[in-house]
Amino acid sequence: MKKLLLLIVFVILEVNLIAQSTFLTRLSFNYGGIYSHYPADTILHIKELSTTNFGSVYINIASANAKSNIYKIENNGNFLWTAPHYGYLGPITRNRLSGLKATPDGGCIYSNNLESFASYHYKRSEIYKFGRFGQQEYSWTLPQYSPVPNIYLQETFDIAVLPNGYACLAEDSLYIINSINSSIRSLNFKGPGKIYGFQNGDMFIVSPTFKGRIDNNGNVLYSLFGKIYNRDSTFFVHTGDTLFQLDSQNGLYVNPIYFPAAGLTNVLMQKDGGWLRYSDFDIIKYDNVGIQKWSKHLHLPVFGVSLITELDTNYLLTGGTFLSQIYDWFGMNRNYSAFVFSIDSLGNSIMDSVSAMTSGDANDDNFFEGSDALYVALAQGSTGPVRKNSLSSSSYDSNIVAEIGIDFPNSFLMGANHMQSDANGNGIVDSIDINKTLLYGNRYPRTTP
């Protein structure tokens, strides 16, 4: 009997482990008229991801120009806090956030780069350190350089965490910040590029002018050629059709693996020794000897994904922007909404059951018409996930028309999911949704999500 009970417990635990859910989290809700939205400032991609040792992750999601925000969420998608600085593009000024890194205490560090064209070209780089719960702890302003008289510039491209401070790969130098006495010194390396820190204070730089490891005083320990990938402090070099693990102490190539250059552009080295190749809409998972384990095609985000990271749950985290367009009597309105989502170790994701939807178009035929109200009536009583309008909101916005939603358990025989009938997004199909559907039918002649 005891063996039977233990077997039942193990089965339950295994089922719960397998059934552990992935998540979809809305980062922003951006909806308005055609004149207030420009793709270069509105299409958001994940620019930086950095995981903590406390079950959370920092996200910098930004547009092609400057618009950006930094969020901290838990590994299950719950919102924790957002940084007070944000990127923007104005007529004569712009802000860019960069160098986002989680720190060992669960906090983060990043650079706020201000650029102005008001009377002359001017750039300033401010480094901010925040604690685990969102409190600002320190700030530093990096020295500026003057390429020509009366022009003062500085921008930070990436930051590395060191044992007693931080390394900032900037426009003119590599700056070492001592977090104990706040002193700043410079080394003769510069960005753009990426920088990684080791526990002994050494640094690994990948830039157009230098690839390799240096010590804390700027002495070159070794330099490299080829494409560089890393998994935490383990580095890999891709040359020809072979991937070598790097002995980071002396720069020797070890453990060669067949790794053809052809394939999807981006690579993520994983904790299990395998890797991902991915592009805008496709992800392929390989094991540690290069055998394909699974592949996945994404239909959302609309503009593809630009960056993927691995959480400490062994799940993947990525995201991007959803776009829908509504044609009303006054012209076209656009909805650009940024979101992140997770993928489990087998390639399954909640995104497999997420759809673009337009409130009021219950039968999902791209028209608002009388039959939509009939579909809502037939779906009365159906329930499903609430559609939240933003990351920090725990409620829904009944004025939202076009968005994305997680499918309800039930669908109509013609194919439309009952989620399409939940016009106000509160997770319940009821008489209020009938009224909303009739209202949309009177306001909008058609929609094309």
pLDDT per residue as tens digits for the range 143-186: 999 999 989 999 999 999 999 999 999 999 999 999 999 999 99
Question: Strand pairing of 136-141 and 331-343?
Answer: unpaired
Q: Where are the beta strands (DSSP E) in 198-290?
A: 203-206, 211-214, 220-223, 227-231, 234-239, 242-247, 252-258, 266-269, 275-278, 282-286
User: Does residue 130 have a pLDDT over 80?
Assistant: yes
Give the pLDDT band of residue 197 (cuts 50, 70, 90).
very high
Q: What is the pLDDT of residue 199?
A: 94
- The two three-digit tokens of residue 192, written as one number: 């753009």
- The two three-digit tokens of residue 162, written as one number: 């060191």
User: Does residue 427 have a pLDDT over 70?
Assistant: yes
Give the pLDDT band of residue 240 (cuts 50, 70, 90).
confident
Q: What is the pLDDT of residue 11?
A: 33
User: Does residue 66 have a pLDDT over 80?
Assistant: no
Give the pLDDT band of residue 228 (cuts 50, 70, 90).
very high
Lowest pLDDT segment from 225-234, 321-330, 386-395, 404-413: 386-395
User: Does residue 109 have a pLDDT over 60?
Assistant: yes
Q: What is the pTM of this model?
A: 0.86
Q: What is the pLDDT of residue 345?
A: 94
Q: What is the pLDDT of residue 2?
A: 44
Question: How does the average pLDDT of the chain come out, rounded?
Answer: 85
Q: Is the model more confident about 400 or about 202?
A: 202
Let me know how long the chain is. Answer: 449
Give the pLDDT band of residue 325 (cuts 50, 70, 90).
low
Alpha carbons within 13 angstroms on the beta-carbon side of residue 130 total: 21
Sheet holding 203-206, edge to edge: 194-197, 203-206, 211-214, 220-223
Give the pLDDT band of residue 405 (cuts 50, 70, 90).
confident
To the nearest whole percent, how much of the chain has pLDDT over 70?
Answer: 84
CATH domain 53-223 topology:
Neuraminidase (2.120.10)
CB atoms within 10 A of CB 120: 10
Q: Where are the domains of the chain?
A: 1-36+274-449, 53-223
User: Does residue 229 have a pLDDT over 50?
Assistant: yes
CA distance 34 to 38: 8
Provide the 3-class DSSP secondary structure of residue 2.
helix
CA distance 382 to 422: 9
Q: Where are the beta strands (DSSP E) in 34-132?
A: 45-51, 56-62, 68-74, 79-89, 93-102, 108-116, 122-130
Q: Which of 427, 308, 327, 436 is nearest to 375 (CA)?
A: 436
